[in-house]
Amino acid sequence: MNNKLKIHLLVNEVAGNGHAKKVLEQTKSILINENINFDLKKSNYAGEAIRIAQDYGNQRHLPNEVLLVIGGDGSLNEVLNGIKWSSNPNTPIAYLPAGTGNDFARAASLTDDPQILLEHFKKGFKPDLIDCGSFIFPDITIDKKYYFANSFGIGFDAFVNHNSNISKLKKLLNRLNEGKLIYGYNVLATVTKQDTFGVEIEREGHKIYFDDAFMVTTTNHPYLGGGLPLLPSAKIDNHKIDTVVVEKFSLAKLVKLFINLLKDGSHVNDPQFHYFEAEKIKVTTTKKEFAQVDGEEIKRNSFNIEFSVSSFNLLR
Ligand SMILES: Nc1ncnc2c1ncn2[C@@H]1O[C@H](COP(=O)(O)OP(=O)(O)OP(=O)(O)O)[C@@H](O)[C@H]1O
């Protein structure tokens, strides 16, 4: 037995429409072949990984132990919250991306190859301090802080996310490894249905109001929707978060912005595209809109949110 390592696997087998199950099998066979000590916990329902990770963080662990998450961005979000709510919020997290979008892995340049990750582990555990976003709903409770690895979006991107998650086509296209196609299709299908809403942004004592916002997304890094570089300048380790506000545009404008986004990132120079970078940003909306956190839908009639940058220990 390789006494140097002890791996605690935490897996969401339904992530990536079953891709996580394959990554788990691959990882297990490497661990068995290399005689590395491991145990395995599976999340049996949405939300269970929060409790499993919190229990893990509440226990004492030796320096040779690591929690390795296999799943998508939603699974990582659950584990991040579980660890941050535990009595040892600095407990390091390792992560093998196996979802459909994997935006966090893209932003943090993570390998999706279990063999490569294990080779890194064998050289020693040196966690990196990586940014994540945090938020509270001050009109509900100021004590409960939530965390995200990718983004918190209100409006258009959340509506697209909602349509992508319920789409019957999603499973088929995912099976063909074309998850991005369904997101692109839903961008076009949703643009005519998204209404506009008022949003107030407050940062560093300055307030700015938009009457006709189309989306307002607070992000920890550039990517959205499985690799779309919404805000190329956003950094995962600059200890800042960014809020993007996009004002109402026509279908023709959407096509132009989308082409620029894919071509050279020049969509950020459009007069209807705004972004704000700070350690703390307040976002207030007054209308019922779709909202998503790390790709998971949240339901509220309006939003009054205080975002701030936070961090966690990532082993990669
Ligand atoms: N056993 C389970 N059965 C059903 N849902 C689960 C189970 N375990 C976890 N979940 C939920 O599955 C959802 C999707 O998981 P996840 O986001 O990791 O994968 P994905 O959507 O395929 O990937 P990505 O977010 O990267 O696109 C999460 O909301 C999680 O709460």
Spell out, as residue ranges, where the chain has pLDDT lower than 70: 1-3, 167-182
81 CA to middle of ligand 1, Å? 15
The residue whose CA is least distant from atom 2 of ligand 1 is: 45
Domain residues for 10? 2-126
DSSP output for 55-94: HHHHS---TTEEEEEEE-HHHHHHHHHHHHTSS-TT--EE
Same domain, yes or no: 121 and 181: no
**What is the pLDDT, as a whole number, of residue 96?**
98
Q: Quick one: which H or E segment has residue 142?
A: strand 141-148
What is the ipTM metric for this complex? 0.95
**Cα(13) to centroid of ligand 1, in Å?**
8
Count CA atoms closer than 13 A to 71's CA, side-chain side: 29
Atom of ligand 1 nearest to the CA of 179: 27
- Quick one: pLDDT at residue 174? 61
Q: Do 227 and 282 share a structural domain?
A: yes
Residues 198 and 94 occupy one common structural domain: no
The pLDDT of residue 143 is 82
Same domain, 117 and 184: no
Please check whether residue 194 lies inside any domain of the structure: yes
246-263 pLDDT, tens digit each: 998 888 888 888 899 989
CA of 278 to the centre of ligand 1 (A): 30
Q: Judge if 242 and 268 occupy the same domain.
A: yes
**CA 300/CA 9 separation, integer angstroms:** 34
Residues 49 and 143 grouped into a single domain: no
| Half-sphere exposure for 306 (CA within 13 Å, toward CB) | 11
Cβ count within 10 A of residue 30: 16
Q: For residue 277, which amino acid is it?
A: E
If asked whether residues 305 and 192 sit together in one domain, one would say yes
- For residue 161 and ligand 1, the question of a CB distance below 6 A is answered with no
Structural domain includes residue 225: yes
Residue 138 is given by DSSP the state T
Question: Atom of ligand 1 at shortest distance to CA of 104?
Answer: 26
Domain limit, last residue, from 126, 144, 166:
126
pLDDT for the residue numbered 75: 98
Q: Which atom of ligand 1 is nearest to the CA of 78?
A: 31
**Domain membership flag for residue 102:** yes
Note whether residue 315 is domain-resident: no
Token pair listed for 268: 């950020």
pLDDT at residue 142, rounded to an integer: 75
Ligand 1 centre and the CA of 180: distance in Å? 17
* Number of independent structural domains in the chain: 2
**Which pLDDT score, from 0 to 100, does residue 200 have?**
98
CATH number at residue 283: 2.60.200.40
Instruction: For 220-290, list the strands marked E by DSSP.
Output: 223-224, 228-229, 241-247, 273-278, 280-285
Q: Are residues 78 and 221 in the same domain?
A: no
Give pTM, 2 decimals.
Answer: 0.93
- Whether residues 23 and 55 share a domain: the answer is yes
Domain boundary residue among 64, 95, 126? Answer: 126
Dihedral sign for Cα atoms in the order 220, 226, 230, 231? positive
Helix 168-175 vs helix 156-166: crossing angle, to nearest 10: 80
Residue 316 is assigned to a structural domain of this protein: no
Q: Is 18 in the pocket of ligand 1 (CB under 6 A)?
A: no
Using the 3D structure, point to which of 77, 100, 126 is the last residue of a domain: 126
Regarding whether 142 and 117 lie in a shared domain, the answer is no
